[in-house]
Amino acid sequence: MHGHKRVLVTGGTGFLGSFLCERLLREGNDVLCVDNYYTGSRENVLHLLDDPRFEVLRHDITFPLYVEVDEIYNLACPASPVHYQHDPVQTVKTNVHGAINMLGLAKRTKAKIFQASTSEVYGDPAVHPQPEEYRGSVNPIGPRACYDEGKRCAETLFFDYHRQYGVEIRVARIFNTYGPRMQTNDGRVVSNFIVQALRNEPITIFGNGTQTRSFCYVDDLIEGFIRLMGAPAGVTGPINLGNPGEFQVRELAEMVIEMTGSKSSIVYNPLPIDDPTQRKPDISRATQDLGWQPTVNLREGLEKTIAYFEWKLSGAGKSMAGAQALRTGYAHLPTPAVGLPVQEAAAIRP
């Protein structure tokens, strides 16, 4: 996978996109980061701006984009219910029109294209753990459908472009991922619990807390992206990428309280409509085809994520000094920036 390529990353200033841009630059590629900043932030890539191989373009992929690239990673779409339900029509457009535009670009340039799909294509699953062969149980008219069905339609488009036009595709189904650069108000369970615990506010659990999730640290997920994109042409996916360690939501809340030393109590609210009761990836295909499996356990990943949010909430996140310091040094780091020691984590802007 190493070598000089022109790589487009849509959603490149977001949580996952910014770490992907960082990794691609380390491998010697030219990176065009495209984002409309709906949920992404330019601050996530401030430390990359001085690299002559990195370029940022404000653009909404629901409109065509005319550039010359060798590879495309399509990550553009709000991924948390708070954001994708805020403007559900735009969410569908981003998934469907955006996929059509990026696939059209890949067709024209003969670029290999990666789709960041989601475990939400399985809906509230009747099969556990979820293998790629499972077709899911999704409510097509519910409040989550703009995201769930949008991603399912995007997968359809990817495979039709592959069959009809010979476009080389890769499709990854991403399970819950967490780490530094998550937003403090994005509504995801890990960031919600950490922020509430650090503020000693009640930790809000929806339902009775027995619903399960599997949490993958961002380092591991980005490694999966790179391996899937670098796999032989016959490995199109879809491939589950996630950590098969399964935890009840209540267990996560208790762990966060313990690790932060918080005085927070736990409160319970009604479960949202169509919220899945269980999530656990079957990663047999990723292990077999990519030689991939996660290496960061939940407690280790939470330590790094808690350290980030401590820094962010302390007000230090408003200083530009950390991002400026990392600008000249990121390319020489032996590991991804998310693996930095806690004292260096302040160099990572949210």
Annotated active-site positions, please? 147
Radius of gyration of the chain (CA): 19
CA distances from 65 to 37, 100, 236, 346 (A): 16, 11, 24, 35
Question: To 5 degrees, how large is the angle CA 79–CA 167–CA 289?
Answer: 70
187 Cβ contact partners less than 8 Å away, ≥ 6 residues apart: 80, 81, 82, 83
| Virtual torsion, Cα 108, 110, 114, 120, nearest 10 deg | 50
Task: For residues 273 and 264, give the distance between their C-alpha atoms in angstroms, rounded to a whole number.
Answer: 26
**Sign of the torsion angle spanned by Cα atoms 251, 254, 258, 259:** positive
Residue with tokens 């200083």: 319
Lookup: tokens for 328? 């000249």
Task: For residues 117 and 95, give the distance between their C-alpha atoms in angstroms, rounded to a whole number.
Answer: 10
Task: For residues 31 and 1, give the distance between their C-alpha atoms in angstroms, rounded to a whole number.
Answer: 15
Strand locations in 263-317 (E): 266-269
Lookup: tokens for 180? 């530094």
Lookup: tokens for 92? 């569908």
Task: For residues 275 and 268, give the distance between their C-alpha atoms in angstroms, rounded to a whole number.
Answer: 15
118 Cβ contact partners less than 8 Å away, ≥ 6 residues apart: 79, 147, 148, 151, 173, 174
In this structure, which amino acid lies at residue 161? Y
349 Cβ contact partners less than 8 Å away, ≥ 6 residues apart: 41, 43, 44, 46, 47, 181, 317, 322, 323
